[in-house]
Amino acid sequence: MQTTKQPYEFLVRWDTEGRLSGAHAQFRYITLDKDGMPIGEFIGAAEPVAAAGATGFPLAEILSPLQIAALAERDAALAERDALAERLAGLMAQEPATAA
């Protein structure tokens, strides 16, 4: 048996205010028997664009290098923001309550 990985979907969403909300890509995995006949397939989890590009999604077929870099930088900035917000929440939870 052999499993192959093929690009499946590239999706971009905008929020209710018309701003870019996010983008992701998905792969399709197809399992073939020893004779090369398909015996099963599934769609992989949605991945951030930069991660999908690093693992073989053909981003250059649909986006310019500048667009790819911009989406990757946006994903990195959002991840950093979320990590800092989680850290701040942890610190705030450790602070003793102050009397008013």
> Are the C-beta atoms of residues 29 and 44 closer than 8 Å to each other?
yes
Answer yes or no: is pLDDT of 30 > 60. Answer: yes
Q: Which residues of 52-63 are buried (b: 16+ CB within 10 A; e: fewer)?
A: bbeeebebeeeb
For residue 25, count CB atoms less than 10 angstroms from its CB and return exposed for 0-12, middle for 13-18, buried for 19 or more.
buried
Average pLDDT over residues 25-40: 94
Of 53, 40, 44, which is closest to residue 8 (Cα–Cα)?
A: 44
Q: Tell me the pLDDT band of 100, cut-offs 50, 70 and 90.
A: low
**Tens digits of residue pLDDT in 49-74:** 888 888 899 999 998 999 888 888 88
DSSP state of 35: T
Residue 48: what pLDDT?
86
What residue type is 38 in one-letter code? P
